[in-house]
Amino acid sequence: MGRVILSDGVYLAMGLGALGAAVVPRLVFKRPLSMPIVFLAAGALVAVLPLPVPTVDPVRDRLWVEHATELCVIVSLMGAGLALNRPFGRRAWAGPWRLLGISLPLTIAGTALLAALLLDWPPALALLVAAVLAPTDPVLAAEVRVGEPTDAEDDEDEVRFALTAEAGLNDGLAFPFVLAALALATAAGDGWSGEWIGRWLLVDVLFKIAAGVAVGFVAGRLLGRMFFRAQANALRLSEHMEGFVALGATFLAYGAAELLHGYGFLAVFVTACTIRAAERSHGYHRVLHEFTEQIERLLTVCLLFLLGGFLVTDGLPALTWQGALVAVLLVLVVRPVAGLLGLLGFAAGPREKTVTAFFGIRGIGSLFYLAYALGHGTSLVADEARQLWAVVAFAVLISVVLHGVAATPVIRRLDRLRRTSPAPP
């Protein structure tokens, strides 16, 4: 009987969650509130009430957490790539390149230093938590990401474009730093060694990035040709307007890249951008994007609900004040400063640079990286794993609340100022 009640409770929660995923975004639209805040709070509330809804322990349920967050990330990467209207290029993408090439390493270095000083963690552990918290995730604040695909290439403001493109690429480019932490832990334990650096640069940086990009480009070109130019009508899928094809493209690119030992996250995002470039103005892109957005929203709602429950039952009780301070300083100091340093000399106004630097949102990607790292080569005992989960989950909580509350008023004011008095370059 207990198992029946538990199952019924899960179905009830899933039904309410799915309906909420459709209703809540419209209720909070243009308000200083976001859907992620609502479902985080709902998960926390349900966890403290005597209701037959299970909670997730990410240490015990690590494999489940890894694959659930992995699925959410790759679906969101496909949606992000399809939404970008601006053609790929060195100058057109100057903002994201600066955030990735300068701000990302600075954020990792700053966070690792904080973890070493405040938490007294060894180098490998400090680097791991810094790499895990490095990716940004505008999925959790819809106001600061690019909307649906349009015909115009220049209708994206620099803030939304930079944050969306950064998130699309840094979900893959943070992976080398996670693997660096694992390699350092294997080579030196609690100490330091440089023996791993050569192989890391050659394999984990150069080869895996190149393989991920190559797979994404080839997959995108082949799929783009099939979708829009295939001779057979049955293969020219743009004629049939079926959105679930986006999942096929996502899984194909990700699986191929991972089998070839490349970064699947990069492959998915590059595939999406390449498909978009195949026929940029076609309405099929909107169909594909809308489908991925709906799947992404359902997955995000589920994961944030469970995260809220974990925070009140295990996450916050295991959090030390030092770990909380690391998370707060990351969100309020390290990322904004690193973002501004990366955008120095960039052809955008000071308002745009400040907002872009501030909205370095932490989210589902961080949860995936930590679950992955704890299952691939680390020798952390349960207490250390729980401390890591507490710090990372608290950082996501701060980011969801702070950026979720600030996104609507800040972006609306920025849009209003841009229309009335554009900022000088």
> Is a pLDDT exceeding 60 seen at residue 305?
yes
- Closest to 400 in 3D by CA, of 311, 296, 318: 311
Check pLDDT > 90 for residue 248: yes
User: Between 172 and 197, where is the model more confident?
Assistant: 197
Q: Does the predicted model carry a pTM greater than 0.85?
A: yes
Examine the pLDDT at 422 and tell me if it is beyond 60: no
Q: What's the pLDDT score for residue 3?
A: 42
CA neighbor of 363 nearest in space, from 424, 304, 416: 304
- Helix 245-259 vs helix 264-278: crossing angle, to nearest 10: 140
Residue 231 in this model has a pLDDT that exceeds 70:
yes
Which residues have C-beta within 8 Å of that of residue 128, sequence separation ≥ 6?
A: 178, 181, 182, 185, 373, 378, 388
The yes-or-no verdict on residue 152 having pLDDT over 60 is no
Question: Does the pLDDT value for residue 420 go beyond 80?
Answer: no
276 contacts 216 by C-beta, under 8 angstroms: no
CA distances from 365 to 87, 175, 228, 361 (A): 25, 10, 32, 10
Query: Residue 107 contacts by C-beta under 8 Å, 6 or more apart in sequence?
Result: 130, 133, 134, 330, 334, 335, 338, 360
> Looking at the predicted structure, is the pLDDT value of residue 127 above 50?
yes
Helices 158-173 and 350-358: crossing angle in degrees, nearest 10, is 40
Lookup: tokens for 336: 């904004």
CA–CA gap between residue 66 and residue 366 (Å, rounded): 10
Tell me the C-alpha distance between 372 and 369, whole Å. 5
Percent of the chain with pLDDT over 70: 91
pLDDT at res. 1: 36
User: Is the pLDDT assigned to residue 200 strictly greater than 90?
Assistant: yes
How far apart (Å, rounded) are the C-alpha atoms in residues 213 and 70? 18
User: What's the mean pLDDT in 411-425?
Assistant: 70
Band (pLDDT 50/70/90 cuts) for residue 46 is confident
The larger pLDDT score, comparing residue 264 to residue 2, is at: 264
Q: How far apart are CA 210 and CA 136, in angstroms?
A: 22
Q: Does 386 have pLDDT greater than 80?
A: yes
SS3 at position 316: helix
Torsion of the alpha carbons at 172, 176, 182 and 187, rounded to the nearest 10: 170
Residue 422 DSSP label: P
